């Protein structure tokens, strides 16, 4: 198992991409702790996977927009598990709209969850990991953080900022054995994309050279690679998981 006995913490791990990452990490032997803004029971599937591999799984209530919550949740996981080897900043929201009609509250809410929350978690996790002299931080960015998207200036800015945060932090902690990378998913089949009309989905497919949406497992596999020893010499990178939507900046 690629993550045997490693300790992972995932923000927003109860559904969608976060859930699939939790599931994949558990399947590979990791102890998985994830957070949600409200009290959320661990699913039967995750409990069964943990029992099968002898790992631990738990959900902690935490709001990434609150600095004290981020400090506390990292402290709690460290106290419960004795260390933290992997952190995945996955929590994120959207509040789409053209900039001409976007309220300041919609801008601030998206930046607060997607970028400032990740900053809080990165800061606390990095402080812990540099003392361990090991660790992998994975930040969930987006293809729109690289190429932009009309109607998503707030979301695109938050994800572009997260990429810059990842590269800068990678430079700060590399000599201490800590790696920091980002994953930039394209259009992944989740509840969010299921809500799109058939016409909207057809239009999206035209932008994807592989002519299909990705699956949460595609993103989870990238996270698995970055979390473990197979990527021990990789830091400060953005792994694109988007079916070819964004190739080399073209």
Catalytic residues: 155
Residues 96, 208, 158, 169: what is their CA dihedral angle, to the nearest 10 degrees? 170
Q: Which helix (H) or strand (E) holds 181?
A: strand 178-185
In sequence order, what are the beta bridge partners of 36?
Answer: 61
What phi and psi values does residue 35 have, to the nearest 5 degrees?
Answer: -120, 150
Q: How are strands ordered across the β-sheet holding 57-61?
A: 57-61, 31-36, 7-11, 86-89, 135-140, 178-185, 238-241
The residue with tokens 């932009």 is 148
Cβ atoms 10, 36 nearer than 8 A? no
> Within a 10 A sphere around the Cβ of 54, how many other Cβ atoms?
10
Q: Are strands 86-89 and 57-61 parallel, antiparallel or unpaired?
A: unpaired
CB 8 within 8 A of CB 32: yes
Number of H helices, E strands in the chain: 10, 7
Coil, strand, or helix at residue 115? Answer: helix
Tokens of 71: 């400090």
């Amino acid at each position: 198992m690629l993550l045997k006995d490693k300790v992972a913490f995932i923000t927003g791990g109860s559904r969608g991409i976060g859930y699939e990452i939790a599931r994949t990490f558990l399947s590979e032997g990791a102890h998985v702790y994830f957070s949600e803004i409200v009290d959320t029971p661990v699913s039967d599937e995750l409990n069964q996977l943990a029992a099968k591999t002898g790992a631990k799984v738990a959900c902690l209530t935490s709001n990434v927009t609150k600095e004290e919550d981020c400090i506390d949740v990292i402290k709690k996981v460290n106290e419960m598990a004795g260390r933290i080897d992997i952190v995945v900043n996955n929590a994120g929201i959207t509040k789409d709209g053209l900039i001409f009609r976007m309220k300041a509250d919609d801008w601030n809410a998206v930046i607060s969850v997607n970028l400032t929350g990740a900053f809080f978690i990165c800061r606390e996790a990095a402080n812990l990991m540099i003392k361990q002299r090991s660790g992998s931080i994975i930040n969930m960015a987006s293809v729109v953080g690289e190429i932009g998207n009309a109607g998503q200036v707030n979301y695109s800015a938050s994800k572009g900022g997260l990429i810059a945060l990842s590269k800068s932090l990678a430079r700060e902690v590399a000599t201490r054995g800590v790696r920091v990378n980002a994953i930039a998913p394209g259009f992944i089949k989740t509840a969010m994309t299921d809500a799109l009309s058939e016409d909207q989905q057809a239009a999206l497919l035209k932008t994807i050279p592989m002519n299909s949406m990705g699956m949460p497992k595609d993103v989870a596999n990238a996270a698995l690679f970055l979390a473990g020893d197979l990527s021990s010499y990789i830091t400060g990178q953005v792994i694109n998981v988007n079916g070819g939507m964004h190739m080399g900046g073209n």
